[in-house]
Amino acid sequence: MKLEAEKKQLEAMDDFNTVAVWSQLDPLNYGYLDFNSIKEYFARYESEIMKENVQAVLRRLSDCPDGKISFREFGLGITPEVACLDQEAANIEFGTEKKLEMAEARKSQNQPLVT
C-alpha cells in the first residue's frame, strides 16, 4: 500500500514525465534497463550500492526472467493501480486520467466495473 501511495504522489507532480525518467535511466537508448544501468543510476545518488537493491528493482519491474526491464514494464511499474477497473481497461496503455474517465462512464451507465 505504501508503494501505491508513493506512485500516486509521483504521478501527481506537475513536472513528472515517464519518458523523461526513462531517458535518465537509459541515456544510451538501449531500449531496456538491466542490472548495470540501474546500478549506474543509483551510483549518481548513493555512495553505497547494494546488489540486493538493484536485483529487487529488476524483480519488481520485470515481467520476464531475462534480467531486463522494457519501457512498457517500467511504465506499468511506476504507474499507480486504479481501483474499480475491469481487466480490459487496465490493459489499455494510456494515462490514469483516461482510465478514471472510463470507470466513471461505466458507473454512470450502471455497467459492472469488474468482470
CB 97 within 8 A of CB 12: no
Beta-carbon contacts of 30 under 8 Å, excluding residues fewer than 6 positions away, are 37
Query: Residue 98 belongs to what domain range?
Result: 83-115
Query: Are 40 and 60 members of one domain?
Result: yes
pLDDT digits (tens, 9 = 90+) for 20-53: 888 888 988 999 999 999 999 888 888 788 999 8
Query: Are 94 and 68 members of one domain?
Result: no
- Please tell me the predicted confidence (pLDDT) of residue 96: 57
pLDDT digits (tens, 9 = 90+) for 52-90: 989 998 998 898 888 899 999 988 887 776 655 445 555
Query: Are 89 and 75 members of one domain?
Result: no
- Please tell me the predicted confidence (pLDDT) of residue 104: 72
pTM: 0.59
Quick one: average pLDDT of 93-113? 61
Strands (E), the chain: 32-33, 69-70
Percentages helix, strand, coil for the chain (3-state, rounded to 5) are 60, 5, 40
Query: Are 89 and 76 members of one domain?
Result: no
- Please tell me the predicted confidence (pLDDT) of residue 114: 47
Q: For residues 60 and 77, give the distance between their C-alpha atoms in angstroms, rounded to a whole number.
A: 8
Domain count for the chain: 2
CB 49 within 8 A of CB 42: yes
